[in-house]
Structure 1
Amino acid sequence: MRPLPLIRPGESLSVLCLGAHADDIEIGAGGTLLHWQVSGIRLDVRWCVLSAPGVRAAEAERSAEAFLEGAVLSDIRLARFEDGLFPNQQATLKRWMEELKTGPVPDIVMTHRRDDAHQDHRTVSRLTWNTFRDHTILEYEIPKWDGDLGQPNLYLPFGEDILTRKTELLLEHFASQRSKDWFDAETFRGLARLRGMECRSSGHYAEAFILRKATIG
């Protein structure tokens, strides 16, 4: 399969990352962001977490800074929408999302999958598409007990070094999640290996996305 390069080393890329909860962006797209940085791509990132109350806010901020230590982190926005009840807060969420349009125009928007089983994730995805109609949107995936993994159509391959770094940062910065039986290195490595196999990654690992609309020139 011939790769279609989105960006080349030395070029700049503006990315808007949207996550319903602290750790969503890192789980779904952390390896991709790390890979772009070590590949010599100049990243300018806005990092937005819609539900990060209490200790989760501190975790989200420290994690964003660690994952993006080689990038320009132009903005971290941490909101406190009520976890699990995003569908009931759509009007306020929509207004919050619209405010993001006043900032720099992103080349890429990263958000949740449209058909994610978690209601908060679905709401964020739907509002992303409603708000950023003219942008390239990559929908990332979050493993969970619901067993809702889909069929991605876009892959970002990487090697052991990126996967190890991603896993280390997740376990280091999200102490509040360590009690969950799925939040461990085996889960993250297993999914990355599966996606790496699907795209025949030379480094054996990958993250996968849904790309619903794009243009090529």
Structure 2
Amino acid sequence: MNDSLDILIFGAHADDAEIGMGATIAKHTAAGLKVGICDLTYAEMSSNGTVELRQAEAEEAARLLGLSLRTNLGLPDRGLFMSPDYIERITMEIRKYKPRIVFAPYWQDRHPDHIACSQLIQEAVFNAKLRRYLPEMEAVQVQQLYFYFINDVYEADVMVDVSSWYDAKIAALSAYRSQFVTGQDTVSTPLNQGYVERVEARDRLMGQKRMITYAEGFVSKLPLLVDRFA
């Protein structure tokens, strides 16, 4: 069985990828590409919801977005740091699924776990191509590493027109009721105080730059290569 993916997206917590690029995911899966998400933690430190509930929500979001797979490395929530063991486990995930393109959170964000996740993925993408690193697994050269925005938005290098797929993003975010909806047993957090509406406003503003309804923006540390301008 071929486990290879076209795209592998990493997030510190379930819902990170959906916030940053849920509509882009839906657009690519609808086109027949194999897309997977790897969550680094079970978000066990979340103020609302349980680990079990958040896992069920993540699986529902995965179904709505048409993911080929969703995995979780079970690293400690609020305990992500530059550990050789963590880098090794992420590298093994990349080598197992051999993605052409990897996405990670942007390296600046108000949440320390998102920053740490970004750093860990960059290290793992680099190590994945080294044939003498974990030589028992075949080295994998990722063609492109992109960064998506979660809480804080900076200047994008590239944007994707997701106007026709934005409903899928909202549906996926709505699966995370424990995070984005207030209830009798919830406490107030930035996520359940109009957060989804602010994400939508952000994506509308991004689209306005190119006169489209919605866009999701991404950053690349490498220059984007084009064949010609025509």
So what's the TM-score if we normalise by structure 1? 0.79
1:97: how far off? Answer: 0.5
Mapped pair 1:153 → 2:163: no
Asked which structure has the greater CA Rg, the reply is 2
Counterpart-to-counterpart distance in 2, 1:198 and 1:125: 26
Mapped pair 1:137 → 2:132: no
Counterpart-to-counterpart distance in 2, 1:182 and 1:111: 25
Q: Verify the 8 A CA contact 1:167 1:188 in the aligned structure 2.
A: no
Once the two structures are superposed, residues 35-60 of structure 1 have per-residue CA deviations (whole angstroms, 9 ceiling, x without a partner) of 2234xx22112221111233222221
The RMSD of aligned alpha carbons is 2.2
Match of 2:72 in 1: 78
Matches within 5 A, 1:64-213: 64-68=62-66, 73=68, 75-87=69-81, 90-133=83-126, 134-135=141-142, 136-143=144-151, 148-159=152-163, 161-171=164-174, 173-177=175-179, 178-179=181-182, 180-182=191-193, 184-201=195-212, 204-213=213-222
1:182: how far off? Answer: 4.1
Counterpart-to-counterpart distance in 2, 1:55 and 1:109: 27
Match of 2:40 in 1: 50
Cα gap change, 1:95 to 1:155, in 2 (>3 Å): same
Match of 1:31 in 2: 23
Letter in 2 for 1:35: K
Unaligned runs of 5+ in 1: 1-12
Cα gap change, 1:141 to 1:57, in 2 (>3 Å): same
Q: Verify the 8 A CA contact 2:62 2:172 in the aligned structure 1.
A: no
Counterpart-to-counterpart distance in 1, 2:146 and 2:9: 10
Counterpart-to-counterpart distance in 1, 2:38 and 2:217: 20
1:205: how far off? Answer: 0.8
1:188: how far off? Answer: 2.4
Unaligned runs of 5+ in 2: 43-50, 127-140, 183-190
Counterpart-to-counterpart distance in 1, 2:17 and 2:169: 11
Counterpart-to-counterpart distance in 2, 1:61 and 1:169: 10
Letter in 2 for 1:165: A
More displaced, 89-98 or 132-141?
A: 89-98
Secondary structure of residue in 2 paired with 1:111: strand
Cα gap change, 1:103 to 1:216, in 2 (>3 Å): farther
Q: Verify the 8 A CA contact 2:64 2:168 in the aligned structure 1.
A: no
1:78: how far off? Answer: 1.5
Counterpart-to-counterpart distance in 2, 1:185 and 1:77: 24
Secondary structure of residue in 2 paired with 1:193: helix
Counterpart-to-counterpart distance in 2, 1:67 and 1:153: 24
More strand by share: 1
Letter in 1 for 2:202: L
Mapped pair 1:16 → 2:8: yes
Secondary structure of residue in 1 paired with 2:120: helix
Q: Verify the 8 A CA contact 2:29 2:35 in the aligned structure 1.
A: no
Q: Verify the 8 A CA contact 1:90 1:123 in the aligned structure 2.
A: no
